[in-house]
Structure formats: C-alpha cells, structure tokens
Amino acid sequence: MFRIHPIPAFSDNYIWCLCDTDSGKALIVDPGQARPVLEFLSANNLAADTLLITHHHPDHVGGVRDLIEQFPDLRIIGPDNSPFKKCTETVTSGSEVVWQDIRFRVYAVPGHTLDHVAYFSDTPVEGQPVLFSGDTLFVGGCGRLFEGTAGQMQKSLAQLRALPDTTAVYCAHEYTLANLKFARHWLPGDAALAEFEADCQALRNQGQPTVPGTLGQEKKLNLFLRWDDPEVIAAARDYANAAGLSADNSPASVFAAVRHGKDHF
C-alpha cells in the first residue's frame, strides 16, 4: 500500500514522503532538511531509497548530504540543467521515473528557477493521480519568478493545468492563506474563493495542512491558472493600467499582471 505523508520543515515547507508500507521503502521529495526526515523515517520504520529533486534552492536540497550519510545507496533524481550536482540520475522534459511500480512523467517547468521540474503519475496513490509541483504551483498560488520570465512560467503552468482534474497537487509550501488573501483582494466578490478561504482557515486552526489540493479546484480558484477567465482578465487589465504595465488579453500578459500584483501586495 502506498501512502503520502507531509514532513514539516523550516517554518512553512513540506517535504513529501511517498512510502510503500509493505516493503518499508520511502521516496522523499525535496528534502530541504535532513533531521525531520530522519525522525519521520525512524518513527515509522521506513528507509529512504530514492530522492526526487524539483529544483536547486537550498530549502529543497539542503538535507541531501546528511541523508546520503545515513543511506549511502540513495538514488537521487533531479533536473539535468541544475546547479545542484549531487544527483545520481538526471531527467529532462518527458523523462520517466519508476519507483515501486509507480511511473512518474517529468515536466520541465521553468519560471521560479530555470532548472525546475515537476513529477506527475497517473498511477493512483490514495485514490488520486499525483503531482509533485515543488515551487511552481501552490494551492491558490505559484512561485515567484527568481530566474525565469512570466511567459515561461505561464507556459509551465499551462502544462500542469492540462493534467486531470482529479490530480492531487503536492506543493512544497504552506502558502495557501496568504495566496487566498491576495486572491480575495483582487476578486472580492468571488463567493467560491471566500468559501475556500474559510475552509482553509478552519484546517489551519486545527493544525492541519491545506495541502494537497486538487488540480480541478486550482483551475476554478487559483488566479495564476485563470488567465482566460473574464473576471481575472478584467482585474489584470485594471491593475496593469494603474501600475503602468503593458496590458493585453494574452495569457502571458494576464499572468504577468497577476504575478506583479502578488509581488507588490
């Protein structure tokens, strides 16, 4: 039986553990810290044999060295164009990664960083297809553009938006309430956003994560995926005009206005 568990790290990171409870093997996604991973594995009688890396930022790879010391035969998989050089296998867009009969397709999703990849499997885990999206797609948001352009990020998100609605989105940060605060500011009359914000606040009040979300939910609610929604287009145009940005109704332009708005919110 396969299960996915969040391992909290730093102040708001999630390191994901995909485990096979029958064999005791575990796949770890983006281990920014080693200690919480090792504590979780020990408490659950698991042994890591594979790491998936989405991109090179320290809060995603900072624990790799210590995990190698504990598990010398680790399989470490990450993007081939990355500044992070401790991978034992590298992947590019369209590559396939197989772990315990689960097949992941690799998507190159530059924008947050140029080396960013996402891992998608249509093999159901806990009843749903799985997307490990790193810092590209968050619940209610997307990653800042540290290295790529708005056009690159919009095209990257378009790839992910095309995946099945039932896909569970396992992102790397608990940013949901901040993302929804911004979205509600842009679209104060959006009743679905208001309801979702209340549901997420209730989860956080109980100490529960808001992640994973579902891709179908994100397509309806996430402003960064709604570049063809008339309400978002109108709000983006108004914002761009007020901010002195170039504005048209193209997906890249709408996305760029939303991203700029979030960055300056």
- Which residue ranges make up the annotated binding site for Zn(2+)? 55, 57, 59-60, 112, 135, 173
**Catalytic one among 30, 57, 115, 116?**
57
Active-site residue, 5 included: no
Active-site residue, 185 included: no
List the beta strands (DSSP E) in the chain.
Answer: 2-9, 13-20, 25-29, 47-52, 75-79, 89-91, 96-99, 102-108, 117-125, 128-134, 137-138, 141-142, 168-171, 213-214
How many whole angstroms separate alpha carbon 76 and alpha carbon 49? 9
The position carrying tokens 């991203």 is: 259
Binding site per annotation, positions: 55, 57, 59-60, 112, 135, 173
**Catalytic one among 20, 59, 115, 190?**
59
Active-site residue, 173 included: yes
Active-site residue, 60 included: yes
**Catalytic one among 30, 49, 55, 116?**
55
**Catalytic one among 20, 49, 56, 112?**
112
- Dihedral sign, Cα of residue 244, residue 245, residue 248, residue 249: negative
**Catalytic one among 20, 49, 56, 60?**
60
**Catalytic one among 20, 115, 173, 190?**
173
Q: Supply 69's token pair.
A: 């010391």
Active-site residue, 57 included: yes
Active-site amino acid positions: 55, 57, 59-60, 112, 135, 173
